[in-house]
Structure formats: C-alpha cells, structure tokens
C-alpha cells in the first residue's frame, strides 16, 4: 500500500469567521516555511517511503490557502520532493480569487492534476458575512477557468450558514453543479469554539439553523446530487463515478500518510503523530543549524485505535468491514461493538449485514449520535 503525502500551507490573507483550520496572515514567512518543509521532508520521508522509486500514491497540498503561495516557492517545493513520479492524484487547494488561466497552467506544469476550491456559497451577503474574500462572480469566473483547464476539480459548499434559506441553499448548490465538477463537498456548518462565528453565536448575534431546516437542506442536497449522477460516498463528499478523492479516501480507509508543515497530522499505519500548530516554533526547529522535528507522537490506547477505525470507516458509504474490525479489536471488544450495532440496526439507525456495518445515507446527519453509541470507552 503506497502512502500519501500531505503538505499544510498555513497562510491565509484573512481568517474566515467559521474556520478553525490552522492558518495565519504572515506572507513574509512563506519563503522560510518552504525551506522548513523541504528539511522536514528530508528528515521524515525515508520513514514512510524508504525506497523513493516506489513513489507516493497521492499528494495533497492543503491549508490555509495553498494558492496564495508564490509560484516560484511552489515550484521550489515540488522540485525538492522525491518520489512524486507515480502519483495517482496530485491535488492543490485554491481560493477563487487566485484561480487564473496562468495559475492553472503553472500548477498543471508542476504535476498537479486536480484542484479543490473553497466556494462555500453563491450568495454575496452570506460570503461577506462569514469573511470570505471572493464574491459569487469571482467564483463563477474561477469555475469557468477550471472547467476549461483540463484539470479535474472539486469545490466546497457550506449549508446552514447564518441567514441561509432553503431556497438560497438550492441556488448555491445548483449554481455549482451547473459547472459539472467531477467532485464536490457539502459541509454542514459547525460552530467551532475559538472562531469569530462561535463568539457571535455566544453573544446572540447569530442563530443556528434549526434542525428541521438543516434536515430539509440535507434532503435537497442528496436528491439533487443523486439526480445529477453523483455518488454520496462519504458524509460530506460526492463524486461522479470514478472520481472519488483518492487522497482523502486514504484517511477514511485507514491508509498511511505523511503530513508536513505546522498543524499537519501523519499516520504510519499503526501510530499517529502531528506537528503542533505553531509556525514560529516549526520554523525555528527546522531552520536551526542542527534541525529538529517538532513532532508529537500520539500514544493511542488499544481502544482508541479501534475507535479510530470505527469513526473513519463509518463516515463512508461502504461502512465498516467486520473482517477489518475483527483484525483490530479484541474478541471481547468486537462483541461489545456488534451488540451495540444490533440495537442501532433494530431501531433503523444502522444497516448491519454479515460483512459490514453501514450508516445509511438518510442517517448521515445523525452520525455523531450513532458513533457515540458504538465507540468503546478508552
Ligand atoms: S481561506 Fe480556508 S483555511 Fe483560510 S481562513 Fe478561510 S476557510 Fe480557513
């Protein structure tokens, strides 16, 4: 199983009100960040890919805003990565304001075959309310460029935004799907502690979309996606047949990946590790004359490893393979989980077959509740 490679670009021109990804407004540090990532790659890649001729399976440059990275730095970074000659998929994330024909041509020339773009909404008032820097006209222009670029592309939308009606959600969804992306993601807005939107919620300045509105938005989403031929293959992800995101699927399929950059996570196949989300510490550790890794290894108990498998696998439409579960869980743990799954299946929340446990599409919105019942105490 060839591993994936993820690189976290921790720079954004400004912070969106709902975002809890690690990103900063420090463009002056981009050059030093590039050098630090190159050093981190040299130190860690041999542990994940001992023989570079085998090659990484996928590359995903995410953030933050990778499209804000100047092209000479992106080009320097790509030139320093060994083992990217056999990539099944090479994705770079972009914001609509950065997508131009010149940029698309440049990233294609660097070996990327897929762009993932954050649009979130086609309503200008909603975009400005959550601090996005593009408007709907910019998003349409970027989608037009992408559609003519020959690159595969995906785009993100959010439903349940403050003030968003069912009609407005339908408008955004249809506006995106009219560009026929091969893949798209639709996220239910979550109010994450520490974000500006969460503070506004706490101060009573915005209200959360009601459960019934969210349920209607979700029903509209799944109907529209299915009518247009998309497969709902993961809670928030939809793809035309054959266009499922290969890199992101490795997270849900429990496959190994190396994550570089501050805030990036890695999974060796048996253990997880992460770089603290702290750019200054990351730069000083890796740019020192004797570079060190700022890495923190996450010690997981046996129960946590099983829970990891349950949580990641049940996000997908394929669900959790019982063979896989029995390989990771002890017989006693397996019995506890199966007995809980039988109860959930009896109440219609789960599908339980001889080979797998699956959350049906109609219940994806209830997945937090279902997972809480299934996971083991750790
Ligand atoms: S552009 Fe993306 S990563 Fe940056 S703040 Fe906005 S949502 Fe977060």
Q: Domains of the chain, with CATH numbers?
A: 4-252 (3.80.30.20), 302-374 (1.10.10.920)
Averaged pLDDT for residues 164-173: 98
CA of 340 to the centre of ligand 1 (A): 38
Q: Give the pLDDT of residue 92.
A: 98
Q: What is the pLDDT of residues 332-345, one digit of tens each?
A: 999 999 999 999 99
Are 41 and 81 within 8 A, CB to CB?
Answer: yes
Residues within 6 Å of ligand 1 by CB: 12, 15-16, 19, 21, 23, 63-65, 95, 118
Q: Confidence band (pLDDT; 50, 70, 90) for 271?
A: confident
Atom of ligand 1 nearest to the CA of 132: 6
Query: DSSP E strands: which ranges in the chain?
Result: 4-9, 58-63, 89-94, 114-120, 152-159, 183-188, 231-234, 237-239, 257-260, 265-267, 272-274, 296-298, 320-321, 351-352, 356-358
- pLDDT above 70 coverage of the chain, percent: 100
Q: Give the pLDDT of residue 14.
A: 94
CA of 201 to the centre of ligand 1 (A): 19
Q: Give the pLDDT of residue 252.
A: 81
Q: Residue 236 burial (CB < 10 Å; 0-12/13-18/19+)? A: middle
Residue 107: pLDDT over 80:
yes
Q: What is the pLDDT of residues 216-248, one digit of tens each?
A: 999 999 999 999 999 999 999 999 999 999 999
Q: Give the pLDDT of residue 230.
A: 98
Are 96 and 119 within 8 A, CB to CB?
Answer: yes
Mutate to test the pocket of ligand 1, among 9, 15, 99 (most ligand atoms within 8 A of CB): 15
- Residue 298's CB: how many other CB atoms inside 10 A? 12
Atom of ligand 1 nearest to the CA of 95: 1
3-state secondary structure of 278: coil
- pLDDT above 90 coverage of the chain, percent: 94
CA of 322 to the centre of ligand 1 (A): 37
Residue 378: pLDDT over 80:
no
Are 172 and 143 within 8 A, CB to CB?
Answer: no
CA of 54 to the centre of ligand 1 (A): 34
Q: Give the pLDDT of residue 144.
A: 98
Atom of ligand 1 nearest to the CA of 131: 6
Atom of ligand 1 nearest to the CA of 118: 2
pTM: 0.95
Averaged pLDDT for residues 128-143: 96
Q: Whose CA is nearest to atom 6 of ligand 1?
A: 16
The total number of residues shown for the chain amounts to 378
Q: What is the pLDDT of residues 305-355, one digit of tens each?
A: 899 999 999 999 999 999 999 999 999 999 999 999 999 999 999 999 999
CA of 16 to the centre of ligand 1 (A): 5
Q: Confidence band (pLDDT; 50, 70, 90) for 196?
A: very high
Mutate to test the pocket of ligand 1, among 12, 116, 119 (most ligand atoms within 8 A of CB): 12
Q: Confidence band (pLDDT; 50, 70, 90) for 194?
A: very high
Q: What is the pLDDT of residues 364-373, one digit of tens each?
A: 999 999 999 9
Atom of ligand 1 nearest to the CA of 64: 3
Give the span between the Cα atoms of 361 and 340, in whole angstroms.
Answer: 20
Q: Confidence band (pLDDT; 50, 70, 90) for 1?
A: confident
Residue 269: pLDDT over 90:
no
């Amino acid at each position: 199983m060839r591993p994936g490679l993820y690189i976290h670009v921790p720079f954004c021109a400004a912070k969106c009100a709902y975002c809890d990804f690690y990103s900063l407004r420090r463009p002056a540090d981009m050059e030093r960040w590039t050098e630090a990532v190159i050093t981190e790659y040299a130190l860690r890649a041999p542990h994940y890919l001992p023989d570079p001729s085998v090659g990484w399976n996928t590359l995903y440059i995410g953030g933050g805003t990778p499209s804000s990275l100047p092209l000479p730095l992106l080009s320097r970074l790509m030139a320093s990565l060994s083992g990217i000659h056999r990539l099944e998929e090479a994705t770079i994330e972009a914001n609509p304001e950065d997508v131009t024909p010149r940029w698309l041509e440049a990233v294609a020339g660097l070996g990327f075959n897929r762009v993932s773009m954050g649009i979130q909404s086609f309503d200008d008032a909603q975009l400005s309310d959550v601090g996005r820097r593009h408007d709907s006209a910019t998003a349409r222009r970027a989608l037009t460029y992408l559609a003519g670029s020959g690159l595969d592309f995906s785009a993100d939308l959010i439903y349940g935004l403050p003030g968003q009606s069912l009609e407005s959600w339908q408008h955004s969804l249809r506006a995106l799907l009219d560009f026929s992306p091969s893949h798209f993601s639709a996220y239910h807005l979550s109010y994450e502690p520490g974000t500006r939107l969460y503070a506004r919620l706490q101060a009573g300045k915005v209200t959360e979309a009601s459960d019934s509105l969210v349920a209607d938005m979700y029903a509209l989403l799944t109907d529209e996606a299915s009518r247009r031929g998309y497969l709902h293959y993961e809670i928030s992800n939809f793809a035309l047949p054959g266009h499922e995101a290969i890199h992101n699927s490795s997270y849900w399929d429990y496959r190994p990946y190396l994550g570089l950059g501050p805030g990036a996570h890695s999974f060796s196949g048996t253990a997880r590790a992460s770089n603290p989300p702290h750019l200054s510490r990351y730069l000083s550790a890796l740019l020192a004359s004797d570079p060190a890794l700022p890495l923190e290894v996450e010690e997981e108990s046996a129960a946590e490893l099983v829970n990891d498998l349950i949580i990641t696998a049940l996000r997908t439409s394929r669900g959790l393979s019982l063979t896989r579960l029995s390989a990771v869980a002890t017989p006693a743990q397996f019995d506890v989980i199966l007995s809980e799954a039988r109860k959930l299946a009896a109440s219609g929340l789960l599908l339980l077959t001889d080979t797998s446990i699956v959350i049906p599409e109609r219940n994806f919105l209830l997945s937090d509740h279902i997972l809480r019942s299934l996971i083991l105490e750790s």
